[in-house]
Amino acid sequence: DAGVIQSPRHEVTEMGQEVTLRCKPISGHDYLFWYRQTMMRGLELLIYFNNNVPIDDSGMPEDRFSAKMPNASFSTLKIQPSEPRDSAVYFCASSLNQLSGYTFGSGTRLTVV
Amino acid sequence: AQKVTQAQTEISVVEKEDVTLDCVYETRDTTYYLFWYKQPPSGELVFLIRRNSFDEQNEISGRYSWNFQKSTSSFNFTITASQVVDSAVYFCALSGGVSGGYQKVTFGTGTKLQVIP
């Protein structure tokens, strides 16, 4: 298995632009997570899905952030409009079931200038 | 609310020394899970271990060992005979059933370990 695949690895965009981050979870994993990592706030859970359904989005910082999972093999995290304070590494992770550990993707380093 | 505290921000050791990374947690749940993850300089996050709250047996995996003590709410991680490849940021994490579900994992702030050759 190729693991959790995220794209792009790096994204530099101008303030106000729309940014879309992509994730392909491990096949057969029922859970998908989006985390954000910054020096100030560490690792924060933004949202997670179970069987493609969003379960908890309480960590999504504001309405500018949205996430979708149209099928079991693909998810997106969109920021519109982006702001410099959104600069962070965004990780996608998946897990087999409720009790297993996560497998993380390599992350997307987002820089908003 | 759940909380994970890793009081050691950075640790430096000389290669072959043993090192222990501390983790203290807070939770109202009676059933919960504890984790350790490793983040090497390349940036990915690697799952190391998961332990449930009913299993207080220490675990050893090669040079790695974990000491879970419910009485002190601690889940410490020891690396024996450290190597340069152990240099990374290590995260302790917690999930509980009542506090948002077992899938909602709360991470500590991490301990950066530098192993000097």
Asked if the C-beta of B31 comes within 8 angstroms of chain A's C-beta atoms, the answer is no
Whether residue B103 and residue A101 make contact (CB cut-off 8 A), yes or no, is no
Chain A touched by B46 (CB under 8 Å):
yes
Check if the beta carbon of residue A35 is closer than 8 Å to that of residue A45.
yes
Using CA atoms, how far residue A72 sits from A23, A63, A108, B85, in Å, is: 11, 24, 20, 35
Looking at residue B28, its amino acid is R
Whole-angstrom CA distances from A106 to A90, A109, B40 are 9, 9, 11
Residue in A43, A89, A103 nearest the CB of B91: A43
CB contact under 8 A, A99 and B33: yes
Nearest to A77 by CA among A102, A108, A98: A108
Cβ–Cβ gap B101/A42 under 8 Å: no
- Element housing B58 (H / E): none
For residue A109, the tally of other CB atoms under 10 A from its CB is 16
A53: left (phi over 0), alpha (psi -120 to 50) or beta: beta
pLDDT at A27 over 80: yes
Is residue B93 predicted with pLDDT exceeding 60? Answer: yes
Of A33, A56, A104, the CB nearest to B44: A104
Q: CA-nearest residue of chain B to A106?
A: B44
Q: Is the pLDDT of residue A10 over 90?
A: yes
For B29-86, the pLDDT digits (tens) are 888 999 999 999 999 999 999 998 988 888 889 999 999 999 999 999 999 999 999 9
> Which string of DSSP letters, residue by residue, matches A40-109?
TTEEEEEEEEETTEEEE-TT--STTEEEEEEETTEEEEEESS--GGG-EEEEEEEESSTTSPPEE---EE
Query: Would an 8 Å CB–CB cutoff place B54 in contact with chain A?
Result: no
Please name the residue of chain A whose CA is at the shortest distance from the CA of residue B107: A43
DSSP string for residues in B2-34? -EEE----EEEEETT--EEE--EEE-S-SSEEE
Tens of pLDDT along A42-98? Answer: 999 999 999 999 999 999 988 999 999 999 999 999 999 999 999 999 999 999 987
- Assess contact for B67 and B46: CB atoms under 8 A: no
